Amino acid sequence: MWWANKFLNVKEKKLYLGDKDATKVAKAHGTPLYVYSKTQILSNFSALLKAFTGKTSLEIKLYYAMKANPHQEILKILKEAGACIDAVSPGEVAEALRAGFSADRIFFTGTSVSAEDLKLVFDQDDLIVNIDAVEQLELMKEVRERWFKHKKIKVAVRWNPGIGRGFNSKVVTAGEKTYDGMPIKFGVEEKKVIQTFARASQYGFTPAGLHYHLGSGWTRQDFEAVKDAVDKMIQKASEVQKQGFSLEFLDFGGGFGPRYSSDQEKFSVKEYVEYICQKIKKSNLGIKTIAMEPGKYLVGDAGVLLVKVEYLKKSYENLFACVNAGTFNTVPRPAIYSGAYHHIVNCSHINYGKKELITVAGNLCETGDVFGKEIEMPVPKRGDILAVLCAGAYCKSMASNFNLREIPKEIII
């Protein structure tokens, strides 16, 4: 199976989650249910670190983009493994601290931040604050002068290199406009980067890094554009240093992840890392650290959602498997992003029996509430357990109580 990993495997035509029969897990804990795998999360983390081995002598910092899945146990697992945290709100900072991360392992990248947000993050000693706009510095200055006058606060600049990539317009986070014309709100435009560092220094902040995040859900097709962005990053960092602002680190954001479908050509993280290391080596930039902010990559394929088929329904030649969960409450991505796909398997008979085109429909009052539209799969029976794959990232964290349906329980095995 193209999706098999250390968490998901098939034994006697049944889905196993680690060493556990998925149908038995569903029976023991009830459905709908999120199941996450510690082994897979750790395997993803070490695979990314390993990609750097022998490629650079610089320090590597992996900031987990906890918006992907802020489950306390997952944060603790990654903390023990040596990860740092990319937090985007005071709430995320508080959860990271609760999981035991010290503030110097947290990087705060907020957008449209308020004085209240800044007060909370400045209060944490050694937390690095990422600046999203030169205009944001006026607010930062006011908060600093009022409450943190003599405090050393390290900052980075999130810049927008004019190149953005993502699987859907809504998650392209750099460039001028998205594929469908939405103005992109993130980052400091190229010509204002030096000015932002200059003003930050003038206001008493300590420049420490340069950062970008281009977007999410890259495939092989995005590689060339991403390489161009790496080149621009190195060039910009060199300009920043020439202007007298020293940089400790370059942060290349996130964006790469697991495969969501068999026909998706995987973005090669290994080649990406190799490219970054090679370019930095040639540049003589004199930085200390290379940073990245993986979200999906670390937890996406380390989670599934288990749901139960309540009944099959046929209407106008459409065959539906009606399940006991709603997308908005569990795996909202297919309902939010056109083109988002989560592979679905029948836990008790993988690839077995007659296949038909089946729409896996949820229990919400919304036509778009489908986990999978006309997917070719063996016809399930009433009571069968289906697993919606790649449910470790941006599922629970984006789920709502729409229709007053509960968000499912989560377990880690």
Ligand X SMILES: Cc1ncc(COP(=O)(O)O)c(C=O)c1O
Binding site for ligand X (CB under 6 A): 65, 67-68, 86, 109, 213, 216, 253-255, 257, 293-297
DSSP strand E in 234-353: where? Answer: 249-251, 289-292, 303-315, 318-323, 344-346
Residues in the chain: 413
- Left if phi > 0, otherwise alpha if psi is -120 to 50, otherwise beta: which for 308? beta
Nearer to ligand X, 257 or 303 (CB): 257
ω before 70 within 30° of 0 (cis)?
A: no
Residue 184 near residue 159, CB atoms below 8 Å:
no
Nearer to ligand X, 65 or 230 (CB): 65
Contacts 24+ apart (CB under 8 A), 7-16: 7/37, 7/39, 7/40, 7/301, 7/302, 8/301, 8/304, 8/389, 10/350, 13/349, 13/350, 13/351, 13/352, 14/347, 14/348, 14/349, 14/350, 15/345, 15/347, 15/348, 15/350, 15/387
Question: Which residue in the list 84, 322, 347, 365 is annotated as catalytic?
Answer: 365
CB of 294 to ligand X, least distance (A): 5
Nearer to ligand X, 26 or 93 (CB): 93
Is 347 among the residues known to form the active site? no
CB of 35 to ligand X, least distance (A): 20
CB of 212 to ligand X, least distance (A): 9
Report residue 372: phi and psi, to 5°. Answer: -155, 130
CB of 168 to ligand X, least distance (A): 11
Q: Which residues contact 282 (CB under 8 A, 6 or more apart)?
A: none
Nearer to ligand X, 360 or 391 (CB): 391
CB of 344 to ligand X, least distance (A): 22
Residue 88 near residue 111, CB atoms below 8 Å:
yes
DSSP strand E in 110-234: where? Answer: 128-131, 154-160, 188-189, 206-211
AA letter at 288: K
Residues with catalytic roles: 365
